[in-house]
Each structure stands twice: as structure tokens, then as C-alpha cells.
Amino acid sequence: MRGVQRRRADLRRHRLVAIRRAGTAERADRVDAVDQRVMGRQVDGANRFAGIRTGSATRSRNGPIVALRGTAATSAPAATGNTVTAVSFTMEFPTTPMAGAALAIVRRSEAEAIVNHSARSFFFAELLAIHEGLHHDSGYDRELLFAATVMHDLGTGALAPGRARFEVEGADLAAEVLAEHRVPQADIDRVWEAIALHTSPGIAERRGLLAYLTAEGSKMDIGFNAPVTASYQAAIHAAYPRLRMVRTLTDAIVDHAARSETAAPIYSMGQQFALERRESGATQLERLAAGLIPWGE
């Protein structure tokens, strides 16, 4: 328990120091309030799915990730039994036909800002997995993580029929892509669940490693767990610029919610965003982007 508390405090301290150095103490206080609510959920969520992980995988306690090679590679120790091996991060997508099809459908149907958000979510999820020592977990699969993170917002695109909430329709579209490439049904189900639950904090992290990383990767792109990405976010953003992502994604979610009553059921993100837009002209996410996200919207 003391280790979890120390990690939570370290994450808050790193963000506060960075923001205060920029001369924005008032915003730092707001970040602290947000982080106290959010970081505890993230750490506790990681612990919740620990029960389904193998004993050979342990979370990294060694602090920041260190550079390994080039400008976009990183390495961190990962425990496998009594042996410690290096785990590498690189800004390269999987090259399998399934991965290519996933990327193609996203590029064909989504706004460029959302495509870039999805790519960044994949890289941020990988960085989190390295940081927490999860790459050697039996539930870790890089290709499935790519499929889930890159296609997690398919429901906001042109191919979504607008009859169900965008998370579900995106999960259905992603499942079709995987089925066409003869991915085993059990893996299709894991990707479907990860996408369907990526806007459900408190649930996603209880549904296994893939769901946890998919949800966290997408949240990291709006600034959560920012210290994990600090050394690499500039290179990632240079390759996949934001292009006012928060506004573009919010517009797409609200537009999808307006397509039918069943597309925005009560308490869904679509319903909540549409309500906030009507009442105040901006969602909480848009206000968060304007005031708190380290790299803006």
C-alpha cells in the first residue's frame, strides 16, 4: 500500500513541478485536484487486474524510462522469473495484414485529427506497459493492442450507422476487421470489449490488460499520466500532430449522439457531451484541454 501511495505522490509531484516551472501555479493547484481523483483510480485499476496476470510479470519500480536507441526508442527492465531482459519501444506500427487493414479503415472513415489521436494512444499505451513492466505479461499482445487502440474511435467515423453508442459501434466495426483476417474469436472478443469499455473508468481496468491499456492510452493523450510520456511526447506529436483533436473528437461524438435516441443512451459519453454543449457551449473535456492538458487540445 505504501508503494502505491508513493507512486501516486510521485506522479502528482512531477506534473506539479513541470507546470509551476512554467509560472502557472494556479493551474498546478487544479491539476493536483484532478490527479488526486484520477491517479488513485489508475493505480488501483492496475492492481485490480493483477490477479489475472502471471507471477512472472512485475510492475517496474525503477522510475522514468531511459533512452535505448535513436530518437524514438526506449528500454526498461522487465522481470521474467529470475532474469531481467530489456524491453524496447519504437515508433513503428505492426506490419501484419490485419494491422494494415485496421489502419486503412481508420484512415478511410475518420477525421485526420482522430486518426492521429488513435496512433498516439497506441504509442502511449505501449509506453505505459513498459513503464509498469507489463510487456511480458501473458495477456500482453502488441498486435491486439494496436488493433484496439487504433480502432477505438471507429464509432465516430463515417462507417458507424448511428443506431448505438459510438463505443459499441466502433467495437462492432473493429470485430468485423479482425474476423475478416481470421483472428481467433477469443481475441476478437478481447478487442471488442477493450473498445466498448474505453470510456468506462472503473470498469475497463477490471477487464484485463488489453482493456486497461486501451483505456489508459486514450486518456494519456489528453494528459493523464503525462510523466510517463514526457521524454517521447514531442517526437510522437511531431509525427502525429494534434490538429485540434479534442474539439474534432467532441464534435464527432456529439454528431453521432444526435443521429438517434439509441446512439446516446442516458449516462453515456455521447449523451453527456451533447448535454454539456447545449447547456454551456463546451464540454468538460474541452475546458480541460484549454486549461490543464500539457500540450493543449
Q: What Å distances lie between residue 74 and 130, 131, 238, CA to CA?
A: 9, 10, 17
What are the helix (H) ranges across the chain?
2-21, 25-48, 97-109, 112-131, 142-150, 166-180, 185-196, 209-220, 226-229, 233-239, 245-257, 269-280, 284-291
Residues with Cβ within 8 Å of 22's Cβ and at least 6 positions away in sequence, in order, are none
In a domain, 275, yes or no: yes
How many whole angstroms from its chain centre is CA 202?
A: 14
Q: How many domains does the chain have?
A: 1
In a domain, 234, yes or no: yes
Contact 62, 3 (CB under 8 A): no
Q: Which amino acid is it at 276?
A: E
Q: Please state, rounded to an integer, the average pLDDT across all residues of the chain.
A: 78
- What is the number of other CB atoms lying within 10 angstroms of the CB of residue 261? 11
In a domain, 106, yes or no: yes
CA 34-35-36 angle, 5° bins: 95
| Cα–Cα distance, 244 to 114 (Å, whole number) | 9
Query: pLDDT tens for residues 110-149?
Result: 999 999 999 999 999 999 999 999 988 989 999 999 999 9
44-48, 238-242, 286-290: the lowest-pLDDT one: 44-48
Average pLDDT for 210-218: 97
| Cα–Cα distance, 70 to 85 (Å, whole number) | 19
Prediction pTM value: 0.73
In a domain, 297, yes or no: no
**Confidence at residue 87, expressed as pLDDT on a 0 to 100 scale:** 65
- What is the number of other CB atoms lying within 10 angstroms of the CB of residue 286? 20
Question: Residue 220 — very low, low, confident or very high, per pLDDT cuts 50/70/90?
Answer: very high
**Confidence at residue 291, expressed as pLDDT on a 0 to 100 scale:** 63
| Cα–Cα distance, 81 to 54 (Å, whole number) | 10
Average pLDDT for 69-95: 58
Question: Residue 292 — very low, low, confident or very high, per pLDDT cuts 50/70/90?
Answer: low
| Cα–Cα distance, 169 to 277 (Å, whole number) | 22
pLDDT at 26 over 50: no
Q: Which amino acid is it at 271?
A: Q
Contact 118, 103 (CB under 8 A): no
Q: Which residue range(s) make up the domain with 109?
A: 2-291
Question: Residue 280 — very low, low, confident or very high, per pLDDT cuts 50/70/90?
Answer: confident
In a domain, 296, yes or no: no
Query: pLDDT tens for residues 142-182?
Result: 999 999 999 999 999 999 999 999 999 999 999 999 999 99
| Cα–Cα distance, 122 to 99 (Å, whole number) | 12
pLDDT at 43 over 60: no
pLDDT at 74 over 80: no
pLDDT at 14 over 50: no
pLDDT at 12 over 70: no
Contact 52, 208 (CB under 8 A): yes
Cα–Cα nearest to 99, from 126, 116, 119, 129: 119
Residues with Cβ within 8 Å of 219's Cβ and at least 6 positions away in sequence, in order, are 225
Query: pLDDT tens for residues 196-210?
Result: 999 999 999 999 999
How many Cα atoms occupy the beta-carbon half-sphere of 151 within 13 Å? 34
Q: Which amino acid is it at 273?
A: F
| Cα–Cα distance, 146 to 165 (Å, whole number) | 22
More confident residue, 6 or 264: 264
